[in-house]
């Protein structure tokens, strides 16, 4: 048979050029046998496990897993709530860098950012997800990146000899598990014996919810045990690396949604078979690993384990495999809008301290949030506070926030003693403040642009791409935010100049600075009044709140009523937040909110403006049945 050398050379050349122009994924040092990888995840639980030293917990299966693997003592979710956390896990990019930090905001993902199942499938893995997605991405089919993604998805469906990556997720410990109380006599953990953190009052409902939650953690542990047993019975344990982690902290008030240890620290255990001993993070099985890790590290770690070269755009560090990095000095966390409530915080954690920067310090921690308030415990906490039954520590949750918080987590694990103003910790404060600023700048943190403005400015472009396009001076915006939130009257002239900026986000921070100054900004009333003509609804709402607090109530109300007619759902939601926080319930405001309800488009994406309006209707004692709006989640 004659061989056409020219034809074969042309084909060879074509394949080489194609590989260069259309690369799938670069690989290096691929293991001789790719390990199977099993992720077992639970929702809304901090490390309330026996293996983490919690003597009240009943978690035999996870305790056993820890004895067979490696327990990470400093593992963190980068966000204290599910959707932004899962976005970060999926992409290896902080959700506040990709533009997806707001709860269920579903903005587009950049085409430059790949998901980890795509990398693994290109390498030959059979990837299944059973079955939680909730990735907070708009232009994206959540199931499209998986071979299987449903409640029947299973690694057993792969081809013979094919390596698998499988996720099994349990919702047993989810926040909703305490919404309906179980009779006390049916609980396995006693409400009278359950440990109560110092920031919680020991109300009957609080003790009951804590005890019920420990029951649910025990149930979750039992489900993890079933999945591990299934792996053993399939004869796959010796070929499978098992990861277990909680998706963020929880679940009682001041944990989930808050960038404290209680909201971000998670249980994290890795069991590695003997045949992959080269991956051991410590010499001895059963060891504790003190390295700081967070969920942004998961994608690079998967790539490192499987021999895929880690691309530069990923923002975490591999903590296993041949591309493992030196231990990082910090882990970083963020908080944006939680459902219908706006707030903004960033946090930095090192081995000992936690630093928190609150960019909306004029808001109380305990803003009313419909889903959170379904738990009897927080209702009882609020009632105890209003009745004057809370001590100083328990009362903080219902008060406005300091700009900065600093905690010694080794000696103050519940983070109730703020050291930010203690001169003995000035060096720590300055170091961690600088780390936060460096981080938000390096990752192009999109949270510094008000959400309503982002929607109007970016359109259908991904915010990740927009922030890197040169269309926005991020350093200018972040400097404005840092200065404005300090609340120093010496910066008043600077804030006034911010209000003249061509950049709407700088104007927003200028108005925020004057709101934070309160009476100290009284000399700039006229400047704030002129700001009510701003093209940005976000700027108008902040300036209106500042003016209202300075006694200019009528002009402030008129401005807020104008924002309620804005076609932007998030502009309306922000204005409704302001109306609630200033506790304004004049007839014209009530009429304006009702008019908004009756005239808003029925197909708004998440109806967060409707949810904020529903709370006002309830708060004002009006009959919600009179208003034809579907308020259901």
CA distance 354 to 336: 18
Structure tokens at 477: 């915006």
CA distance 329 to 396: 30
- Main-chain phi, psi angles of 289, to 5 degrees: -115, 120
CA distance 607 to 631: 8
Q: Domain residues of the chain, as ranges?
A: 34-325, 430-626
| Model pLDDT, residue 626 | 79
CA distance 413 to 615: 34
Q: Which helix (H) or strand (E) holds 342?
A: none
CA distance 565 to 594: 11
555: number of Cβ within 10 Å: 16
Judge whether 573 counts as a catalytic residue: no
CA distance 126 to 308: 16
| Model pLDDT, residue 8 | 40
Query: CATH second-level architecture of 34-325?
Result: 3-Layer(aba) Sandwich (3.40)
Residue with tokens 């005239």: 599
| Model pLDDT, residue 342 | 98
CA distances from 617 to 225, 343, 457, 620 (A): 46, 22, 32, 5
| Model pLDDT, residue 16 | 41
Angle, alpha carbons 365-398-350 (nearest 5°): 40
| Model pLDDT, residue 629 | 54
CA distances from 260 to 80, 169, 250, 436 (A): 8, 24, 10, 15
CA distance 100 to 210: 31
CA distance 49 to 247: 15
CA distance 452 to 538: 7
CA distance 525 to 556: 11
CA distance 599 to 602: 9
Structure tokens at 205: 């409902």
| 99 phi-psi bin (left φ>0, alpha ψ -120 to 50, beta other) | left
| Model pLDDT, residue 28 | 58
Select which of 82, 149, 177, 390 is catalytic: 82
Query: Counting Cβ atoms within 10 Å, is residue 118 exposed (0-12), middle (13-18) or buried (19+)?
Result: middle
CA distance 562 to 307: 56
Contact residues for 94 (Cβ-Cβ < 8 A; gap 6+) = 78, 88, 101, 296, 315, 332, 334, 443, 445
**What CATH number belongs to 430-626?**
1.25.10.10
For the entire predicted model, the pTM comes to 0.94
CA distances from 166 to 35, 117, 128, 267, 308 (A): 12, 10, 5, 19, 18
CA distance 145 to 148: 9
Contact 611, 631 (CB under 8 A): yes
Query: Counting Cβ atoms within 10 Å, is residue 167 exposed (0-12), middle (13-18) or buried (19+)?
Result: buried
Low-confidence spans in the chain with pLDDT less than 70: 1-29, 601-606, 627-633
Structure tokens at 279: 């991956």
């Amino acid at each position: 048979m004659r061989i056409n050398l020219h034809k074969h050379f042309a084909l060879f050349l074509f394949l080489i050029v194609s590989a260069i122009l259309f690369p799938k994924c670069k690989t290096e040092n691929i293991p001789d046998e790719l390990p199977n990888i099993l992720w077992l995840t639970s929702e809304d639980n901090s490390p309330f496990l026996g293996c983490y030293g919690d003597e009240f917990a009943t978690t035999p299966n996870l305790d056993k897993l820890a004895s067979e693997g490696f327990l990470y003592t400093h593992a963190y979710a980068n966000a204290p709530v599910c959707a932004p956390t899962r976005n970060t896990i999926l992409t290896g990019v902080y959700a506040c860098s990709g533009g997806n930090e707001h709860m269920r905001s579903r903005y587009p993902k950049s085409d430059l950012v790949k998901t980890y199942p795509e990398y693994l499938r290109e390498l030959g893995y059979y990837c299944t997800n059973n079955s939680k997605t909730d990735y907070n991405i708009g232009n994206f089919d959540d199931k499209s990146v998986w071979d299987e993604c449903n409640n029947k998805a299973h690694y057993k469906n792969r081809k013979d000899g094919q390596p698998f990556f499988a996720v099994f997720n349990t919702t047993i410990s989810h926040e909703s598990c305490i919404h309906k109380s179980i009779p006390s006599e049916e609980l396995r953990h006693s409400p009278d014996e359950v440990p109560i953190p110092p920031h919680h009052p020991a109300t009957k409902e609080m003790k009951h919810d804590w005890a019920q939650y420990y029951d649910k953690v025990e149930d979750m542990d039992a489900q993890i045990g079933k999945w591990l047993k299934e792996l053993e019975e399939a004869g796959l344990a010796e070929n499978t690396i098992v990861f277990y982690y909680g998706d963020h902290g929880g679940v009682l008030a001041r944990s989930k949604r808050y960038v404290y240890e209680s909201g971000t620290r998670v249980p994290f255990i890795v069991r590695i078979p003997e045949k992959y001993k080269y991956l051991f993070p410590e010499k001895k099985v059963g060891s504790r690993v003190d390295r700081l890790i967070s969920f942004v590290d998961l994608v690079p770690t998967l790539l490192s384990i499987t021999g895929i070269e880690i691309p530069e755009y990923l923002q975490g560090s591999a903590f296993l495999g041949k591309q493992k990095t030196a231990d990082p000095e910090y882990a970083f966390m963020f908080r944006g809008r939680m459902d219908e409530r706006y707030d903004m915080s960033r946090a930095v954690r090192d081995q000992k301290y936690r630093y928190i920067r609150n960019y909306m310090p004029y808001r109380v921690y305990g803003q009313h949030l419909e889903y959170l308030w379904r738990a009897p415990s927080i209702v009882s906490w609020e009632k105890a506070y209003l009745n004057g039954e809370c001590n100083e520590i328990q009362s903080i949750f219902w008060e406005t926030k300091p700009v900065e918080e600093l905690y010694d987590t080794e000696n103050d694990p519940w983070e109730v003693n703020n050291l930010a103003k203690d001169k003995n910790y000035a060096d720590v404060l300055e170091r961690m403040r600088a780390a936060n600023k460096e981080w938000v700048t390096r990752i192009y943190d999109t949270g510094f642009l008000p959400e309503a403005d982002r929607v109007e400015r970016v359109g259908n472009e991904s915010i990740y791409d927009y922030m890197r396009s040169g269309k926005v001076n991020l350093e200018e915006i972040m400097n404005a935010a840092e200065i404005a939130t300090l609340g120093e009257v010496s910066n008043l002239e600077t804030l006034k100049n911010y209000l003249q900026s061509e950049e709407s986000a700088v104007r927003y921070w200028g108005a925020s600075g004057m709101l934070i100054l309160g009476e100290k900004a009284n000399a700039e009333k006229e400047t704030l009044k002129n700001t009510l003509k701003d093209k940005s609804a976000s700027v108008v709402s902040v300036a209106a709140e500042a003016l209202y607090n300075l006694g200019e109530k009528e002009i402030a109300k008129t401005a807020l009523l104008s924002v309620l007619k804005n076609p932007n759902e998030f502009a309306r939601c922000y204005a409704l937040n302001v109306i609630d926080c200033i506790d304004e319930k004049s007839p014209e405001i009530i009429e304006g909110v009702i008019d908004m309800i009756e005239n808003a488009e029925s197909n708004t994406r998440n109806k967060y403006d409707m949810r904020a309006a529903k709370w006002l209707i309830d708060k004002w004692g009006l009959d919600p049945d009179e208003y034809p709006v579907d308020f259901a989640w």
